[in-house]
Amino acid sequence: MKIFTNHRYALVTGIILALVLSYVLHRCLVPDSTFNHLSLARWVHVVSGVFWIGLLYYFNAVQTPALADAAADKGGPGGAGVNKYVAPRALFWFRWAALATWLAGVWLLDARLLNAFTLGLLMEVADYQTVVIGIGAWLGTIMLFNVWGLIWPNQKKILGIKPATDEEKAKARKVALYASRTNFILSIPMLLCMAATSHGLPI
């Protein structure tokens, strides 16, 4: 069956299953309720965010250290296979999941968008949720810029997708690493802010 042998079919099947489940639960448990587009926005935001941050953690905790070890292992197989087959595919999902997460976040903020991005400064009295979600939104925005403005353009040079000299590749590695590490660091307080609006701060 293709849903077990092709990841795209599996992804589409999971999305369809979630939508059917949502519809059935709504009809059975809250039959008088109307469709709430913000619930859909929240679901898209969460699923896309899991893709994005999951790959960010994979790059920082697994792939980058593994490639460094592979480069140091003179008798080993090296990292050519990862650079040729794994990294371009992972970066495809990474950058588009980042954009989908940010757009779904903007959709989810809805009428609170301006107040969130101004950290409640336009409000008579800034409330806890607006300020916290605003900080999270700004951290996510910085991270999105790093993905599309720094990480992806430099990774294209590193992976040979865009022609570059050895000197340009060396510079690109440094820029991409620092941008990715910045996102790795920022993701942790960003997730704290996202969770804090519904679950509170842990301290």
**pLDDT, tens only, 45-84:** 999 999 999 999 999 999 999 999 998 998 888 888 999 9
Q: Which residue has the tokens 């620092």?
A: 178
pLDDT given at position 31: 79
Q: Domain residue spans in the chain?
A: 1-35, 37-199
Straight-line distance from the first to the last Cα atom of the chain, in angstroms, rounded to the nearest whole number: 48
Quick count: other Cβ atoms within 10 Å of Cβ 176?
22
pLDDT given at position 152: 98
Quick count: other Cβ atoms within 10 Å of Cβ 190?
22
Closest CA to 71 of 87, 86, 82, 61: 82
Q: What is the torsional sign of CA 140, 146, 151, 156?
A: positive
pLDDT given at position 118: 97
pLDDT given at position 203: 63
pLDDT given at position 130: 94
Closest CA to 143 of 74, 49, 29: 49
Structure tokens of 202? 């842990």
Tens-binned pLDDT, residue by residue, of the chain (203 aa) = 888 999 999 999 999 999 999 889 888 888 777 878 888 999 999 999 999 999 999 999 999 999 999 989 988 888 889 999 999 999 999 999 999 999 999 999 999 999 999 999 999 998 999 999 999 999 999 999 999 999 999 999 999 999 999 999 999 999 999 999 999 999 999 999 999 887 777 76
Q: Is 149:176 a contact under the CB 8 Å cutoff?
A: no
